[in-house]
Every structure is written in C-alpha cells, then in structure tokens.
Amino acid sequence: MYKINVKSAGNYGNVALGARYTFSKRNAEKSIKLFLEHECEIEVTKFLNCGGLWCWSEDHDLYGGLNY
C-alpha cells in the first residue's frame, strides 16, 4: 500500500491537500505523475512488513526523492 501526501495545491490551486492511498504500485505511479504535472509538492510512503512489524517507509523506487 502506498500513501501519497499532497502538501501544496499545485500551480492553479485546484488540487485538494491531504493523503491519498493506493494498493498497487502502478496506480501510485499514475497518481505521482498526475500530481507532478500539476506542480504539487508531494511525499510518498510505502506500507510494508518488517519482521512482523507493519510500518510506513520512505524507502521506495517510485520517483527521485522523499519530498518533491
């Protein structure tokens, strides 16, 4: 599961702020592309299992940065 946190409303202010959740990597990539086209500042985290502990991680390969 991926969480895309939108921190800015984009170049025309037409994007609602807040978190979006998606289950697949493909849908996360589509959403990231859409937000970056609208010049939004985003933060992407991934929900994963680390030895029996579920946690949010910023270690992923979806785009080139933790905050963009």
- Which tens digits make up the pLDDT trace of 13-41? 999 999 999 999 899 999 999 999 999 99
Are the C-beta atoms of 44 and 57 separated by less than 8 Å?
Answer: no
Asked if the model's pLDDT at residue 68 lies above 90, the reply is: no
Residue 51: what are its φ and ψ, rounded to 5°?
A: 60, 45
Stretch 37-52: mean pLDDT, rounded? Answer: 90
How many other C-beta atoms are found inside a 10 Å radius of the C-beta of residue 31? 19
